[in-house]
Amino acid sequence: MVLVFLLVACSAPSNSSGTSDTGASPTSSSVSSPSQEGSSEPDSVPGSESTSPFAQLPQLQGNATVVLKVNGKTITLAIDGNNAPITAGNFIDLVDKEVYNGTAFHRVVRSPSPFVVQGGDPQSKDPNFPVQRLGTGSYIDPETKEPRYVPLEILPEGAEQATYSKTLQSAGVNQLPKLKHTKGAVAMARSQLPDSASAQFYFTLENIDFLDGNYAVFGYVTEGMDVVDQIQQGDRIESAKVTAGIENLKR
């Protein structure tokens, strides 16, 4: 079975295997299969006091609401920290830090059928940044000067614990994920390395079930899907704000 990847060409995390994979052009709809499965699973449940490599990442312990303003109109997102605490926590933290303000949607795929609208590359804030390199950026922590990556986090239906750092198929999990790629899903883009997601995210323009279990959904559009449907390549996020649930963010 060939997996279809949203090939964001971000730099590979240094704690993954030594081979970096930049994927295809971030504006193409190319098909690729994974070359490797990256790092191992965490040592324990995220959030517990342990040596887990994910213990220091922001987590959303509950739900939150984010409102994006694009082309003068609003898009409301319900962010699910109950079922994707690390992925959702990373996104809410970046929204709260105003990382997404001014960033562009660099990849819009509607042909031959509606697919995704992808953005959030911090480099896209610079209008002079080369267009051909958009989709290669990660969030750089201003304190450590290092990129921040989050693990691939997917909770199977009926499970109490999410699967980390592996697709459901490669982990031998036969269940579907609880958070699916239905129309209006919000999920993290990544390279072929499972733990390479950082800042870039995408909206699904239709139900895209072949992505289920391969990418981490962490929320859904609840209002403004018509605005998402009208986004064009190069449109920018004028503002992104957490309007509810910021108290659930644990840094």
Flag whether pLDDT at 39 surpasses 70. Answer: no
Flag whether pLDDT at 84 surpasses 50. Answer: yes
Structure letter (DSSP) for residue 96: H
What is the extent of the structural domain holding 126?
A: 59-244
- Terminus-to-terminus CA distance in the chain, angstroms? 39
- Mean pLDDT, to the nearest integer, of 91-96? 98
- List the structure tokens of 207: 């139900």
Instruction: Identify the residue whose tokens are 């220091």.
Output: 56
Total of domains in the chain = 1
For the ranges 23-37, 117-131, 174-188, the maximum mean pLDDT occurs at 174-188
Is residue 28 in a domain?
no
pLDDT of residue 133: 86
Is residue 218 in a domain?
yes
The CATH number linked to 218 is 2.40.100.10
pLDDT of residue 76: 99
Nearest 5°: the CA angle 224, 67, 202 is: 70
Q: Quick one: pLDDT band at residue 107, thresholds 50, 70, 90?
A: very high
For the ranges 8-22, 33-47, 52-66, the maximum mean pLDDT occurs at 52-66
CB 177 within 8 A of CB 168: yes
pLDDT of residue 28: 32
Q: How far apart are CA 103 and CA 43, in angstroms?
A: 35
* Positive/negative CA dihedral, 220, 223, 229, 233: negative
Amino acid found at 225: M
CB 199 within 8 A of CB 190: no
Is residue 181 in a domain?
yes
Poorest-pLDDT segment among 54-58, 92-96, 102-106, 173-177: 54-58
Q: How far apart are CA 148 and CA 140, in angstroms?
A: 6
| The model's pTM | 0.83
Is residue 13 in a domain?
no
Is residue 120 in a domain?
yes
Flag whether pLDDT at 69 surpasses 60. Answer: yes
Q: Quick one: pLDDT band at residue 130, thresholds 50, 70, 90?
A: confident
CB 192 within 8 A of CB 36: yes
Is residue 160 in a domain?
yes
Is residue 50 in a domain?
no
